[in-house]
Chains A and B, each alone.
Chain A
Amino acid sequence: MDGLARTAHRDDVEALAAAGVLDERGRAAALAWIRGRLDWATWMDRLLLGTGTALVLAGIVYFSAFNWFRIPAWVKFVNLELALVAGTVAAWRVGLERPGGKMLLMGCSVLVGVLLAVFGQVYQTGADAWELFAGWAALIGGWVAIGRLAPLWLMWIALVDVAIGLHANIWWGRHTFEWTMLALGAANGVALAAWEAGAARGIEWLRARWPRRTLWMTAVAPLTVLAIGWIWDASHVTVWLGALGWLAALGAGFARYRRGAGGDLTSLSIDAASAGIVALALLWRIAWTAHAHDPFFQMAVAAIAIAGGLGTWLKRVADEREVLE
């Protein structure tokens, strides 16, 4: 593509001014030209919609956060249920392909959680906390599926993660922490794989980078913890599974994010950071086994070498790729 066909940015004007192509008057005129052509309408539309919805939802959550004894239980339920029905009908009428419809669906999904919380307040069912989040995720699953909205999907995955964590704390017995890490790594990894497959097929709303980076981080971090656990004590099957999962994730991440259409330097940096942390843990373990009493200096040198090496490699990848986010 012709380099001059891309959208003019303030940085381009500053570059022209710095190179002496534009004088101060020309720079001011160019900046005014860019500012005059910013898409204010779309941006204001998104800002007002996002903040307006957030404030309304926050107001409803604030109201429900306190147990109002003066308000009968049925009034609380009717209010929330009416809001839910009205929101759902409005989302259907507005249309899920429009930002307003998507935001309404997001609002309804949050309201379901508020309704469940109020239900727990009123009836004191004695249910475990994980059931609230699992029930919330199950109830909004259909909306999430048809919403085609990245933040809504991420919210749903976060609910599943919280449900897993809370369930593990109660029921999973010995090695709970390791099992939880393994389950979180697996759940987020599967979600990411599905997301990447959809993005590779050209589904537009799945192509944004930030949800994929978030999922990648939340999949790799628990597996990294398990890999470090394996280095220190490989006596349990969870750390073996975690270490193998970590290796597989590292390889898959390297293959996916190194080059090509799916290439992404930020995700590759997460990959590299995970590898560096595990390498340092391994070196510390070796020094520990060799009875080095205070291996601090050696570890400092290792940290410098590993960070420097990974930084050099990532810079080389960046130079090769040219296109960075």
Chain B
Amino acid sequence: MNGGKRSLGVLLSFLEGEGYLDAAGRTRGEKRLRAPRERGTHWSIQLLMGAGAWLAAAMLLGFFFATLRLYRTPEVFVPLGLVVIAGAAGLRRTGDNVFLAQLALAFSLAGQALAIGGTAEQSRSLGAATGMAAMLCAALQVAYPDPVHRALTWAVALSTGCAWLGGTWLSALHLMVALMALVVTMWATADRPGDDFRPAACVCAAGLPVLLFVMCFAFGPSHVAREQLSELPSRILLAVLLWQMAGWAARDMEVRPEPLVLARVAVALLACVGSAGLLAAGLLLVLGFDRQDRTLLALGGCALPLFLWAFYYDLRLTLAVKSVALIASGLSLLAGRMVLSARPWAHGGSR
């Protein structure tokens, strides 16, 4: 891809011209940028290996239960699980051999399943199991420095938490909003999420469509439909989320506090009267483009149809009102596009 006016060469010239780089710095910069990029493992390979580890962990659990008859002694689940996890973490630290890493990953997942399942079995409470999953997740972020493992551990903790919350007092759609808020908080707290946060945030982003699919598959859309997004917890959460995103969007701009507060209040109020999820999804798309962040863009792209779907099942409104609202909103956006495309800057390729 040829960058033209946005190329790295032009950027270095700008930095040199503005005094941020001297001649030696420019040479070092060119050398650094010409070197092959340090890449992590491609996402599709990570996905394949993660899926392989899940499968191996399931087989190991089958071995523990069917072959070793572990189900007869549920009191050993937790200690055995913790020992298996510790062994896996130790094994992972011995080196970067792919097969050893895969072995450690499978054992760690099996150990987590044992420890979390054992806690649920002993306490008869999914809340306690969620506590155990959260503790393991936090401890393993430090003890097991591997991106695939981090993502899978987050997936385990989030699944357990969703099962607990979904079975008690939170609806599926509330959980989706909470997941979205979690991702955005992770992104907003760091200018760009580091390696520690990225796997977790990706899992949260993927959790949105997965949760919707699981809920619809398990209970049917009509069950999910009853759990309206218009309920108070979601509205409060989305209002806070929009407040936070407005501040985040303005972080790098020289904006006086008064208009920023006004903007934040305006979007929070919009969350109270309108379809806040759609607004949040749109804001995520804009922020994702502004920050050139594919994960944020993907999250916004997942959230938009999701909240559109939720709007369909908003039982406070008739289908006629909803269809008029949607058509009017769509036409407003298309009219906005026409107005924007008539502006001279729209043809210049930049703002």
Contacts and interface: CB of A to CB of B under 8 A. Distances in A.
B62 A7 contact: no
A294 B62 contact: yes
Interface in B278-321: 282, 285-286, 289-293, 304, 308, 312, 319-320
Interface string A233-259: 000000000000000000000000000
B319 A65 contact: yes
Interface string A276-306: 1000100000000000001011011101111
A123 interface: no
Contact of A303 (B14, B41, B56, B345): B56
B80 to A, nearest CB: 15
A83 B106 CA distance: 56
Given A33-B14, A38-B290, A52-B331, A5 B3 contact: yes
Contacts of B62: 294, 296, 299-300
Contact of A29 (B1, B18, B349): B18
- Contact residues of B: prevailing secondary structure: helix
What are the 4 closest A-B residue pairs judged by CB atoms, nearest first?
A: A307-B52, A55-B330, A59-B326, A52-B333
Contact of A5 (B2, B47, B323): B2
Nearest to B286: A47
Contacts of B98: 308, 311-312, 315
Contacts of A270: 44
Contacts of A158: none
Interface residue range, chain B: 35 or more
B48 A36 contact: no
B11 A318 contact: no
Given A294-B62, A311-B49, A16 B32 contact: yes
B165 interface: no
Contacts of B52: 276, 303-304, 306-308, 310-311
B337 interface: yes
B350 A40 contact: yes
B233 to A, nearest CB: 26
A8 interface: yes
A144 to B, nearest CB: 22
5 contacts: A19-B28, A30-B20, A38-B290, A301-B56, A307-B49
Contacts of A318: 39, 41-42, 45
B306 to A, nearest CB: 13
B45 A314 contact: yes
Interface of A: 1-16, 19, 21-23, 25-26, 28-45, 47-49, 51-60, 62-63, 65-66, 68, 265-266, 269-270, 272-273, 276, 280, 294, 296-297, 299-301, 303-308, 310-312, 314-315, 318, 322, 324
Interface in B1-52: 1-12, 14-15, 18, 20-21, 25, 28-30, 32-34, 36-39, 41-42, 44-45, 47-49, 51-52
Contact of A22 (B15, B252, B304): B15
Given A52-B334, A307-B48, 14 more contacts: A1-B2, A7-B2, A14-B192, A16-B33, A19-B32, A21-B21, A29-B15, A41-B350, A58-B308, A294-B67, A297-B63, A300-B106, A311-B52, A315-B45
Given A8-B3, A30-B15, A62-B322, A56 B48 contact: no
A42 to B, nearest CB: 7
Interface of B: 1-12, 14-15, 18, 20-21, 25, 28-30, 32-34, 36-39, 41-42, 44-45, 47-49, 51-53, 55-57, 59-60, 62-63, 66-67, 98-99, 101-103, 106, 192, 252, 282, 285-286, 289-293, 304, 308, 312, 319-320, 322-334, 336-337, 340-341, 345-351
Contact of B21 (A2, A22, A307): A22
Contacts of B312: 62
B8 A56 contact: no
A305 to B, nearest CB: 7
B253 to A, nearest CB: 10
B169 to A, nearest CB: 30
Nearest to B350: A37
B11 A272 contact: no
A10 B291 contact: yes
B7 A305 contact: no
A58 B325 CA distance: 10
A234 to B, nearest CB: 24
B145 to A, nearest CB: 18
Contacts of A314: 42, 44-45, 48
A308 B99 contact: yes
B285 A4 contact: no
Contacts of B293: 10
A275 B144 CA distance: 30
Contacts of A30: 11, 14-15, 20
B33 A56 contact: no
Nearest to B101: A308
Contacts of B39: 318, 324
B6 A34 contact: yes
A80 B289 CA distance: 36
Contacts of A14: 192
Contacts of B282: 51
